[in-house]
Amino acid sequence: MTIKVQTPIVEIDGDEMTRIIWQMVKDRLLLPYMQFETLYYDLHVQHRDRTEDKVTAEAARAIARHGVGVKCATITPNAARVREYGLKMQWPSPNGTIRGILDGTVFREPILLENIPPTVRTWKKPIVIGRHAYGDVYKNQEIQVPGPGRGELVFTPADGGEPIRRRIQEFAGPGVLQGIHNTEHSIRSFAQSCIRYAINQRMPLWFAAKDTISKTYHAYFRDIFQEEVDKCESEMEASGASYFYTLIDDAVARIIRHEGGILWACMNYDGDVMSDMLASGFGSLALMKSVLVSPTGQMEFEAAHGTVQRHYYAHLKGETTSTNSTATIFAWTGALARRGELDGTSEVIDFCRKLEAAVIETIEGGTMTKDLARVSDPPMDHFATTSGFIDAVRDRLEEKL
Ligand code: NAP
Ligand code: MG
């Protein structure tokens, strides 16, 4: 029996160990059971280099046109990578480029397993983070102040109007200065994406900022969120979603004793920091799903982790590896199920749910990779290889079909 996926999805291939896993997952868990076409974009770092990185933008635009994409982890080149792969330059982060084109928000959700208890006892359900991915400190200008002088913030209107100036500091000696910004458009898109996600998942939505201190910048985020929530009030209520605003420090204090089952919308920096805390608190980076959602509903699914470089070098030396493919499998099932939803093909969604269940049962049944064996309860003294784990998932899946 093969299940047919009606519309092609955008497939974005990547680098190193995740590229190896990518092929194994397709060959052993998907293609034997499903008939699907992909629009294939190869983001291998050397192919990005050959195309002057044009392939990355093309892949993003393909998702914008076709609605659903799935992405393998990719190298963001630094100086060492430029030498290693003989690149022309340090190409920008592919995820940054794709996010920019889709104007999207990244949602990260942990996969919960019975035998991988979260470090935080009260966490019973996933805590999803929605991270604003534009501006703030990630698009800043900084000055290392060499000595006495005045630090100022200046806005010069394009229409020739009078500039607005604020004195930041009168420096008596050396120091440091930073300027950050955000835009109404980006904050509004972010709020809308979060509200959409909360409605779809029927989840409470939290947003937190530091508006007691930052009475203009952070308050601007708070007010835009509230305006967007007000526009969707009845839809949120009907779906069982809700909205809660609080101070960021209060949110952190509450999260640590919350049972979960919420979407936490975070400003860019908070989302960066808090998503790493949650990933490690919930067990492993390899259990973290990630989806980029545009304000108009296009979605790109991926694993939250990187290319697992160290495992790849071991693989190249011919050593056996134990790399966890869970998040990569869930990226594929997420994308294919979303396609099934848009196409109205319930058999596609059904297959994806069975494959996800097969992964969970395999791990809960005691077959897991090294990263999980370390944190499992009861502790495991043996672990599966990269390939062995995928085969064990396939055996479980076969029982369900
Ligand atoms: P990483 O690939 O996520 O790996 C960090 C460490 O976490 C690994 O060395 C491994 O620990 C563990 N780990 C992560 N995923 C695992 C998995 N599936 N199974 C088992 N263990 C796993 O991050 P990185 O080493 O910082 O970055 C490597 C490359 O990935 C970089 O070139 C970076 O640019 C890129 N990156 C890409 C993305 C993306 O495309 N979304 C995201 C992050 C990083 P042990 O070595 O201790 O086993
Ligand atoms: Mg981070």
Q: Which ligand is nearest to the CA of 106?
A: 1
Q: How far is 352 from 387, CA to CA, in rounded Å?
A: 20
Neighbours of 213 (CB within 10 A): 11
For 318, phi then psi, to 5°, come to 90, 5
Q: How far is 81 from 312, CA to CA, in rounded Å?
A: 14
Over residues 131-139, the mean pLDDT reads 87
Task: Tell me what pLDDT residue 294 has.
Answer: 87
Task: Tell me what pLDDT residue 1 has.
Answer: 64
Kindly list the distances between the CA atom of residue 233 and the CA atoms of 206, 228, 237, 242, 282, in Å, as whole numbers in the listed order. Answer: 15, 9, 6, 8, 32
183 token code pair: 């835009």
How does pLDDT run across 323-380, given as a tens digit for each residue?
Answer: 999 999 999 999 999 999 999 999 999 999 999 999 999 999 999 999 999 889 988 9
CA angle (315, 71, 289) in 5-degree steps: 90
Which residue, judged by its Cα, is nearest atom 46 of ligand 1? 310
Asked whether 75 lines ligand 1 (CB < 6 A), one says yes
Q: Is the pLDDT of residue 149 over 90?
A: yes
Over residues 266-285, the mean pLDDT reads 89
Q: How far is 94 from 132, CA to CA, in rounded Å?
A: 17
How many Å separate Cα 124 from the centre of its chain?
21
CA proximity to 298, closest of 1, 3, 7, 4:
7
Mean pLDDT of the chain: 95
Task: Tell me what pLDDT residue 138 has.
Answer: 83
Kindly list the distances between the CA atom of residue 191 and the CA atoms of 101, 163, 187, 205, 231, in Å, as whole numbers in the listed order. Answer: 17, 30, 6, 10, 11
Task: Tell me what pLDDT residue 283 has.
Answer: 80
CA angle (72, 77, 81) in 5-degree steps: 110
Q: Which ligand 1 atom is at minimum distance from the Cα of 303?
A: 41
Q: Is the pLDDT of residue 139 over 90?
A: no
Asked whether 279 lines ligand 1 (CB < 6 A), one says no
Over residues 179-207, the mean pLDDT reads 94
Over residues 291-303, the mean pLDDT reads 91
**Identity of residue 310:** R
Q: Are 13 and 19 in contact (CB under 8 A)?
A: yes
Q: How far is 167 from 150, CA to CA, in rounded Å?
A: 7
H/E stretch holding 209? strand 204-209
Overall size of the chain counted in residues: 401
Which residue, judged by its Cα, is nearest atom 36 of ligand 1? 306
Lowest-confidence region among 17-26, 102-111, 333-342, 343-352: 102-111
Asked whether 3 lines ligand 1 (CB < 6 A), one says no
Pairing mode, if any, of strands 105-110 and 175-179? unpaired
362 token code pair: 């395999």
DSSP state of 28: I
Cα(17) to centroid(ligand 1), Å: 9
Q: Which ligand is nearest to the CA of 283?
A: 1
Share of the chain above pLDDT 70, in %: 100
Q: Which ligand 1 atom is at minimum distance from the Cα of 309?
A: 28
DSSP state of 167: E
Q: Are 90 and 48 in contact (CB under 8 A)?
A: no
- Torsion of Cα atoms, 265 then 352 then 42 then 135, to 10°: 0
Task: Tell me what pLDDT residue 386 has.
Answer: 98
Q: Which ligand is nearest to the CA of 278?
A: 2
Asked whether 323 lines ligand 1 (CB < 6 A), one says yes
Q: Is the pLDDT of residue 277 over 80?
A: yes
Q: Is the pLDDT of residue 103 over 90?
A: no
Q: Is the pLDDT of residue 318 over 70?
A: yes
Cα(222) to centroid(ligand 2), Å: 23
Asked whether 310 lines ligand 1 (CB < 6 A), one says yes
Q: Is the pLDDT of residue 134 over 90?
A: no
Q: Are 296 and 31 in contact (CB under 8 A)?
A: no
Q: How far is 220 from 209, CA to CA, in rounded Å?
A: 10
Q: Are 63 and 21 in contact (CB under 8 A)?
A: no
Cα(14) to centroid(ligand 2), Å: 20
Q: Which residues of 2-19 are buried (b: 16+ CB within 10 A; e: fewer)?
A: ebebeeebbbbbbbbbbb
Q: Is the pLDDT of residue 125 over 90?
A: yes
Lowest-confidence region among 193-197, 248-252, 354-358, 364-368: 193-197
Task: Tell me what pLDDT residue 114 has.
Answer: 93
158 token code pair: 């394009």
Asked whether 371 lines ligand 1 (CB < 6 A), one says yes
Q: Which of 17, 290, 308 maximizes ligand 1 atoms within 8 Å of its Cβ, making it the mutation to test the pocket? A: 308
